[in-house]
Structures are given as structure tokens and as C-alpha cells.
Amino acid sequence: MARLIPADELGPGAREAGVPEFIDRQMNTPYATGSIWYMQGPFNPDVPKEMGYQLPLVPKQIYNLGIADADEWCRSQHQKPFAELTAEQQDAALSQFESGSAAFKQLPSSLFFSYLLQNTREGFFSDPIHGGNKGMVGWTLINFPGARADFMDWVERGERYPLPPVSINGERA
């Protein structure tokens, strides 16, 4: 995830914003275990997307299998697991995961990538109460006011909102 939202001159990246903690916390929720999903099948991954999710895997399984497959694929290509690759090699691997051209054994690489990207975005821009967006760095980057009740007065003005973000807990950036 550090390569998906890297630290740069605009501010901290996903790692510094606590996205790993956010995803770890998510993996201990009903979302991750699929306990709120209908998982009895039949599963047909070839139907249109409008038919909904069509794999017998829940998010926690997608991460466990995807991380293992990603490391195995990287070892087959570079003789190293993903974490030990250079930044350029990681970017190239992520591009192949995204396109689905990296052949994973247990699930489509594009499925793993889509979950990683979506959860990285969620962790970077969620309220800090959920473990990510530490110091509200994501909100500060895009000038999002957070949990302020009065910001709607500024929406139609075309001006930058003058106050820093506030979290649900009242923490200020």
C-alpha cells in the first residue's frame, strides 16, 4: 500500500497515515469474515457485474491468499518476496496485479489488487477513529473538513474552507 499512496512532497503516504492498521482492524469485522454476506452460492464469476459478487471467498481470505500468491509470484519473477523488491519492481508488480496478467494460483490477481486499492483508499481517507488517516493527513491533503457541521455554507462559494479538519472524536488536524 505504500506504493499505492506514497509519501511525497504533498505529505505522508498510506503507511505513515496508518493504513496497515486500518486494514488489520477491518480484517476483524463482519465485513472481513463475510458474516453479513450470502455465501451459499452458486458462484459464477463470468456473469455481469450487476449480478453482484461471485466468488466463494470473503475479504479476509482474499487478503490471506492474495498476499501468499503475490509473494510467490514475485519470487518466481525476481527471486524475492514483494516486500524485498525495489520500488520500481513493486510498481511493475502492482501494475501486473491490477491488469490481471500476474498469474496467481488461488484467486485472480486483479481481485486481490482491487481489494488492496479500495481498502488503502478507505484507510487513507476514513475518520481516524477507524485506525487510518492518522493526523487527518488524507483530509488535510484534499481540504476535507471532516466532521464539521458548518462546512456546507462553503460548498457553493468556490473558496477553500478556512478551518482544519475535525475527527468524529473532536481531534483537530
pLDDT digits (tens, 9 = 90+) for 3-33: 999 999 999 999 999 999 999 999 999 999 9
pTM: 0.92
Most distant CA pair in the chain, distance? 56
- The tens digit of pLDDT for each residue in 35-84 reads 988 888 899 988 998 988 888 999 999 999 999 999 999 999 999 999 99
Q: Per DSSP, which regions of the chain are E strands?
A: none
Distances (CA, A) of 5 to 12, 87, 118: 9, 12, 12
